[in-house]
Amino acid sequence: MVKRGYVMRDGEVDEIDRKILSILLDDGRKSFNEISLMVGVSTGTVANRVRKLIERGVIKRFTVELDWRKLGFDVFAIILIEAEIGKVKDVSEELYSYPEVGEVYTGIGGTPHIVAFVRASEVNDLFSFMQNKVAVLEGIKSVRSVIVGESRKNKSSLDYSF
């Protein structure tokens, strides 16, 4: 790692980067000037660091966190799917195309093979989605769901070790 000129390998971040990332995770609307005052570096340094973090793919995008219930989506469910070998990619891509599905993850080494996060207005809508869209997908072996009652923690800050 070379400090001067700020050259780092992919995946490496220093203490300044960690502070910048933590601030942006907490509030992505913070200005570079505000961040510079919080971190103790110049505004230009913050701008350069953020630009390089974007170029390196550390920062993938800037987004907002929504209160889905205030938008009428009162049901949040986690769908656990076991798929036939060779069909995991197809099933996960089809799931992701549905507007009800916010996130899809695939894994190896056990079941479930696919985990999807789904939002619906009410339980009947979730049931209909599961029955009419998920269960009928080619390659599905089994489907389970967990309706989330309360979110205890939605971590958006950096307090882990690198």
pLDDT in tens, 98-130: 999 999 999 888 888 999 999 999 999 999 999
CATH class of this structure's domain 1-65: mainly alpha
- As a whole number, mean pLDDT of residues 29-56 equals 97
Q: Which run of H or E residues covers position 77?
A: strand 75-83
Question: Domain-by-domain residue ranges, the chain?
Answer: 1-65, 68-148
Instruction: State yes or no: pLDDT of 42 exceeds 90.
Output: yes
> Is the pTM for the entire model greater than 0.85?
no
Residue 133: count of CB within 10 angstroms of its CB? 15
Chain-centre distance for alpha carbon 103:
7
The whole-number pLDDT of residue 68 equals 86
Would you call 87 exposed, middle or buried from its count of C-beta atoms within 10 A (0-12, 13-18, 19+)?
middle
Fold of 68-148: Alpha-Beta Plaits (3.30.70)
Q: Which of 59, 23, 156, 55 is nearest to 15 (CA)?
A: 23
- As a whole number, mean pLDDT of residues 22-28 equals 91
Distances (CA, A) of 71 to 3, 67, 152: 46, 7, 20
Q: Which of 126, 32, 9, 25 is nearest to 79 (CA)?
A: 126
